Chains A and B, each alone.
Chain A
Amino acid sequence: MKKSDIPQDESALKGWTREVFYAKNDDGKYEAGLSTGWSVKKDALDGAWDEVNKNVEDARQQVVAGKLSPIYYYMELRLMDVGVLAQYVGFWKWRVKRHFNPTIFKKLSDDVLQKYADVFEIDVEQLKNFK
């Protein structure tokens, strides 16, 4: 690739940084250049976010329908899986999974809820009163 062909498409890098890209200069020698982004990459990243947003919306509906607890919703919203969430709150995975059950969730102490709230960076109230 020639330095003049380094893609300069609009992307999520906008307003933050440009990325380094190695390409050939006019003398045919490699040199570092800068790129504002590439549409092919942008589309892949946008696709990944569409999937995240879909999962979050699915989770929200399941919580509203009373099938899963708000902990599940916030886990999805924060892009976590059970393994990551369990490490952050410091519980075993099976215990976190139990807390997805709305009946068990309702009986959780404020201390336990506070741990989740801290990890999700929200108030306990937002867990208790899911909108």
Chain B
Amino acid sequence: MQAFKHYQAAHCENGVTVGLLKQVGLEQITEPLAFGIGSGLFYIEIPFLKLQSGPAISFRTFPGNIFKRTCKAFDVKLVTKKYRDEVKAMSELDELLAKGISVGSQVGVFHLTYYPKAYRFHFNAHNLIVFGKEGNDYLVSDPVMEDTTTLSQQALRKVRFAKGVLAPKGHIYYPTSIGVVTQDKLIAAIRSGIKRNCRDMLRIPASFIGTSGINYTAKNIRKWKDKLGDRKAALYLGQIVRMQEEIGTGGGGFRYLYAAFLEEAAAITGNDDLLLVSEKMTKAGDMWRDSAVQMAGIYKGRLSAQSDYNHSAAILNEISDLEKEAFRQLDKIKI
């Protein structure tokens, strides 16, 4: 094991994946590679489910997938544990830290003492790395932050046992060993990450998932003004933008991240066709941001006509077309 090095990332799970895998010697891993190999890009609007009384939308794959898939691609042996007993959950963590093992931990952000209050909602799929203990304080590497921080014993226990949807139940995980990483294995990891991502964005037969899921949301947006009234419809749009752009959730940002992955993949595999798709993903990222600006016009109260909602929806339809085209093209590239 090497000394732990903090790694800041656009998304917490990518950052934890990179931080932990570098520690077992996977020097080549970067945030874009982890995101691409873990097939992180996604779109889903979960029908009938409301989060904080708004639509439940995610721009990334399900929590835990990126880490699991990346580990699998490099034959990383993993230990993962959940607990009922809070005392045991803390003492086992102490034992691991005493052995010099850095540990990934799923936490809820509501009681996360170092978070600004504005970000503290009941969101339980945040990830951080605990890499040491000094006195009563745990040394914490939270990938969204520029520097490391600390949590008291009491505070860490509270966030590890946050309650609600996706309650972490003390969930911890850490790699113990890694297979030999050759250039071929790296290329195979990239290939399977891309194939799986094409499947997720193009071929899951549900209208609310992948590139067709973006159209599903567009269709809903056209109905919101009539169905919900101006105030609530505007709040719903605000929620889309928060899910899309807020720290660590990132729709537009994730498209840029995937474009960065394709660029790295092109350099590793020597296949420049990937750069063409990278350009399209960059364009998709730009369009997600344009759509956020347009939606902001509505939730800030500057715009409120049905035509403004239609405009928002039309931008999403265009994004859906573009991402469909990009993934179809990607699907055909032989690596």
Residues of A within 8 A of B238 (CB): 43-44, 47-48
B263 touches A29 (CB 8 A): yes
The interface size bin for chain B is 35 or more
Contacts A17-B146, A41-B242, A87-B163: A22 and B299 contacting too (C-beta < 8 A)? no
Asked whether A92 is an interface residue with its Cβ less than 8 Å from the other chain, the reply is no
Which residues from B are CB-within-8-Å of A94?
none
Determine the distance from Cα of A48 to Cα of B239 in the docked complex, in whole angstroms. Answer: 8
What chain B residues lie within 8 Å of A84 (beta carbons)?
122, 163-165
Which one of B9, B118, B164 contacts A83 once the chains associate, using CB atoms below 8 Å?
B164
CB-based contact A30/B260 at 8 Å: yes
The answer to whether B300 has its CB under 8 Å from any CB of chain A is yes
Q: A16-B116, A40-B241, A43-B299 are in contact. Are A22 and B145 (CB under 8 A)?
A: no
Contacting B at CB under 8 A, from A45-90, are: 45, 47-49, 51, 78-80, 83-84, 87-88
Chain B hits for A113, CB < 8 A = none
Q: Say yes or no: A22 contacts B32, CB within 8 Å.
A: yes
Query: Chain A residue with minimal CB distance to B15?
Result: A20
The reply to whether B163 and A44 form a contact with Cβ atoms under 8 Å apart is: no
Least distance between B234 CB and chain A CB atoms (Å): 7
Most chain-B CB neighbours within 10 Å: which of A47, A51, A79? A47
Q: A30-B263, A83-B164, A84-B122 are in contact. Are A21 and B253 (CB under 8 A)?
A: yes
Complex: chain A residue closest to B54, CB-CB: A48
User: With the chains together, A21 CA to B248 CA distance in Å?
Assistant: 10
B151 smallest CB distance to A (angstroms): 15
Among A32, A49, A78, the most chain B Cβ lie within 10 Å of the Cβ of: A32
> Does A13 reach chain B (CB closer than 8 Å)?
yes
- CA A78 – CA B259 in complex, angstroms? 39
B122 / chain A contacts, CB cutoff of 8 Å: 79-80, 84
Q: Is the CB of B299 within 8 A of A41?
A: no
Asked if residues B52 and A48 are in contact (CB atoms below 8 Å), the reply is yes
Is the beta-carbon distance between A48 and B146 smaller than 8 angstroms? no
Q: Are A48 and B242 in contact (CB under 8 A)?
A: yes
Chain B residues with CB under 8 Å of A43's CB are: 238, 296, 299-300
Q: B274 near A: Cβ within 8 Å? A: no
B77 CB to closest chain A CB, in angstroms? 29
How far is the CB of B70 from the nearest CB of chain A, in Å? 18
In whole angstroms, what is the CA distance A20 to B286 when docked? 17
Most buried by A among B147, B164, B286: B164
Is the beta-carbon distance between A79 and B121 smaller than 8 angstroms?
A: yes
Q: Given the known A-B contacts A30-B256, A47-B235, are A20 and B164 also in contact in the complex, defined by CB atoms under 8 Å?
A: no
A17 neighbours in B (Cβ, 8 Å)? 144-147
Once the chains bind, are A12 and B116 in contact (CB under 8 Å)?
yes
Minimum distance in angstroms from A16 CB to a CB of chain B: 5
B260 touches A45 (CB 8 A): no
Nearest-neighbour CB distance to chain A for B165, whole angstroms, equals: 8
In Å, the complex CA distance between A16 and B146 comes to 9
Residue of B8, B242, B285 near A20 (CB, 8 A) is B8
Closest to B243 in A: A44
Please, what's the 1-or-0 string for B295-307, where 1 marks a CB less than 8 Å from any CB in chain A? 0100110000000
Flag B270-314 by CB within 8 Å of A: 1 or 0 each: 000000000000100110010011001001100000000000000
Within the complex, the shortest CB–CB distance from A42 to chain B, in Å, comes to 9
**Beta-carbon contacts under 8 Å, A1-37 to B:** 1, 12-13, 15-24, 29-30, 32, 34
Give A4 to B263 CA distance when docked, in angstroms: 19
Question: Within 8 Å CB of A83, what residues of B?
Answer: 164-165
Known contacts A1-B285, A44-B296, A79-B110; decide if A23 and B256 are in contact (CB<8 Å): yes
10 residue pairs bridging A and B, Cβ less than 8 Å apart: A12-B119, A20-B144, A21-B253, A21-B256, A30-B259, A32-B10, A40-B245, A41-B242, A43-B300, A87-B163
